[in-house]
Every structure is written in C-alpha cells, then in structure tokens.
C-alpha cells in the first residue's frame, strides 16, 4: 500500500515538473515572438528612414523591360561607399562602387568592383555645364549632388552606362555608418594576405598596421583595410580584392546567431548613415531568402586594366574587351539576353515539354 502511495506521489511530482517545463517553454516562445516583433518594428522604422527611391520615370531601370520582384527574380544592387567626412556630409564622393547580382534560381551572389578612377563622360545635364566632359566615375556622386540631377541616381546610371546592365537597387553607406556597423557586429574576422599599413582616418596621422594572417578588425581598422590604395603592396593585394574579401567575411559575420541580438544597435545607425532604394518589405524578403547564405555562395569578378595618364590626369583604363567580358558575365548572372531582356527560353521549353 505504501508503495502505491509513493508511486502516486512520484507521478504527481513528475506531472508537476512537466507542467513547469511546459510553462517555461511557452514563456520562452512568447518572449522570442515578442522580441521578434520588437525587432521588426525597430528595423521597419529604421528602414523607412533609410529608404530613398531612385527618381526614374517608370520606377525601374531603362534597361529593364519588366519590373523585378526582389526575392523571386535575379536582380542587381550597387553598393556605394561614400566619403563625406571631409565635407561635413555635403557633396561627398563615391569612394567604392561594387555591383552585386543576386540570383534566387541558382542561389548565387556575385560581386564586381568598378574601379573608382574609370574614365567616363558626363553630359551638361548630368554634371552641370562646369563639369561636362570626361572625368572619373567616382565623381558621379559629387556631380549629381552639385547639378541637382541626384547623387544616387547619377552614380547608378553611370555604372549602368559603363557595364550595359540594369542596376535595380542601390545601397549607400558613409564612412561613419561603415565603422559603426562593423563595431555593432563586434568586429569582422579577415584573413589578411599581405602585410601593410594605412593611416587612421579618425585619429590624425596615426598608422594602423595589418599583419599577415587571421585578424579581427574593428570599425576603424576595417575602414583603413578596405580604403588603402597608395602603398606599394596594393599592386599585389589590390584595394578591390580587399573590399570584396571584406564583404564576404562580413556576410558570414552578419548571418551568425549572435547578430540577432545586435539588430537594435544596427538600426540606430541606418537612418543617418545609410540610404537605399530597397523598401522595408523588400529587405525582409531578402533576409528570408538569403539568411542562410555564406561566402561559399559568392563569386567575384574583376575588370582587367591599368592606370594611364590622359590629359595630365591618371585614369583607370580597362583592357581591350574587359568591359564587354564583365558585361556578359553579369548579364548571364541576371539571366539577360544581349538586349537586356529576361531570357525566358528555358521556361518556355519546359512549358512546351509539359504540354
């Protein structure tokens, strides 16, 4: 009889603990949902502050026949790094321009650096009468601001003109935003291929030294790492290569589990230092579609060429056929034909077979 009572007591205790564990799980679940809603609201508000559409007559690139749906169709983004700390945020210049293609059909992402010194022609409408003529492509951000044409718009259009591909979206970040986002992530791990040094842009002429091998870079160090271009080592470990390498490392860092708890810090940075044509809903579509992507899914392309002196100014001049090669590679990633229209032949063949 006593054994029966003991057994009942044990069962009651077990059931009591099961209920407690169940309540704990429910509370955790509710907390996660509540935190998710909190993050959604904060990110959505910050994204709205950062959202600036490109002023286009039809709301899309002139090189597009149809609109693209973010998350469903292959599309392109121009990443623009702006240097405006010397001008107090006025008339900055595009220090970095990287074309990113995203293809949901292949789950592949590519990055192509556009050399900042590439020579390109500006019309009086684009740059104003004073600056009409040939200049470097990184001046597009400055001239677009001065002429009233629009800095983001002109930067996007000159890259489209150079590569003959549609640029569907853009993201612009200034130096302060870049530094603060890297710090919010807790730094980014980079495998430095060659040793070099660069000045610290925030602390006078102090030097930051980079040793060969794995290193975790904070915001200031990361900015110096991606910007260095005047040291001799740049010829074997180029600026464009370092920028693409850093973005790949940042993607791995950004999709890590710990980043979820840093979103609050990152959203505080967005409104003041980042502008993008991506709407909040498009950003969430991207996050859902590519939250598991890592750097192994990224391929990098490079525009071959070298520096040449033209009219007393050094420009980057692409090698013969280099622009055409880059253009064809990007069109293939975007699933475009020669006239920049979506190639639906594969889908049509599948439909024919189904019939």
Q: Find out whether 318 and 304 touch, Cβ atoms under 8 Å.
A: yes
Q: Find out whether 355 and 141 touch, Cβ atoms under 8 Å.
A: no
Residue-wise pLDDT for 100-138, tens only, equals 999 988 888 999 999 999 999 999 999 999 999 999 999
162-166, 169-173, 321-325: lowest mean pLDDT where?
Answer: 169-173
Q: What is the pLDDT of residue 350?
A: 36
pLDDT surpassing 80 at residue 262:
no
Q: Among the residues of the chain, which ranges form H helices?
A: 2-50, 124-127, 140-147, 151-163, 175-184, 219-227, 239-254, 263-273, 280-290, 322-333, 345-354
Q: What is the pLDDT of residue 213?
A: 96
Residue 37: band (very low, low, confident or very high) from pLDDT cuts 50, 70, 90:
very low
Residue 254: band (very low, low, confident or very high) from pLDDT cuts 50, 70, 90:
confident
Pairing of strands 298-301, 108-113: parallel
Q: What is the mean pLDDT of residues 170-180?
A: 89
pLDDT surpassing 60 at residue 41:
no
Residue-wise pLDDT for 46-76, tens only, equals 566 678 889 898 889 999 999 999 888 999 9
**The pair of three-digit structure tokens given for residue 45, joined into one six-digit string:** 């508000």
Please say whether the dihedral angle defined by the alpha carbons of residues 177, 180, 186 and 187, taken in this order, is positive or negative.
Answer: positive
Q: Average pLDDT over the chain, rounded to whole?
A: 81
Q: Find out whether 110 and 334 touch, Cβ atoms under 8 Å.
A: no
Q: What is the pLDDT of residue 196?
A: 94
Beta bridge partners of 170: 78
Q: What is the pLDDT of residue 38?
A: 47
Class of domain 51-338: alpha beta
Phi-psi region of 311 (alpha: psi -120 to 50; beta: other; left: phi over 0): left
């Amino acid at each position: 009889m006593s054994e029966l009572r003991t057994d009942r007591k044990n069962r009651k205790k077990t059931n009591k603990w099961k209920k407690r564990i169940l309540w704990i799980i429910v509370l955790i679940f509710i907390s996660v949902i509540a935190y998710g809603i909190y993050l959604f609201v904060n990110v959505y508000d910050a994204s709205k502050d950062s959202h600036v559409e490109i002023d286009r007559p039809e709301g899309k690139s002139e090189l597009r026949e149809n609109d693209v749906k973010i998350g469903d169709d292959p599309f392109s983004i121009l990443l623009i790094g702006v240097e405006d700390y010397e001008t107090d945020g006025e008339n900055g210049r595009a220090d970095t321009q990287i074309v990113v293609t995203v293809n949901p059909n292949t789950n592949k992402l590519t990055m192509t650096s556009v050399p900042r010194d590439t020579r390109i022609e500006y019309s009086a409408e684009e740059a104003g009468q004073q600056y009409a003529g040939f200049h470097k492509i990184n001046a597009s951000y400055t001239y677009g601001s001065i002429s009233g044409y629009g800095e983001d718009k002109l930067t996007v259009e000159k890259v489209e003109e150079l590569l003959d591909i549609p640029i569907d979206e853009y993201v612009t970040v200034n130096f302060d935003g870049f530094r603060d986002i890297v710090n919010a992530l807790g730094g980014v791990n980079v495998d430095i291929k060659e040793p070099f040094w660069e000045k610290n842009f925030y602390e006078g002429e102090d030097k930051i030294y980079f040793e060969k091998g794995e290193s975790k870079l904070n915001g200031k160090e990361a900015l110096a790492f991606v910007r260095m271009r005047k040291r001799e080592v740049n010829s074997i470990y180029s600026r464009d290569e370092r920028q693409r390498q850093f973005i790949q490392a940042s993607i791995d860092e950004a999709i890590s589990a710990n980043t979820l708890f840093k979103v609050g810090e990152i959203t505080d940075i967005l409104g003041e230092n980042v502008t993008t044509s991506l709407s909040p809903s498009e950003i969430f579509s991207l996050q859902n579609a590519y939250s598991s992507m890592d750097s192994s899914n990224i391929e990098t392309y490079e525009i071959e060429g070298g520096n040449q002196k033209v009219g007393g100014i050094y420009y980057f001049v692409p090698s013969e056929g280099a622009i055409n090669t880059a253009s064809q590679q990007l069109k293939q990633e975007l699933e475009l034909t020669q006239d920049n229209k979506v190639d639906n032949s594969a889908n049509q063949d599948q439909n024919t077979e189904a019939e």
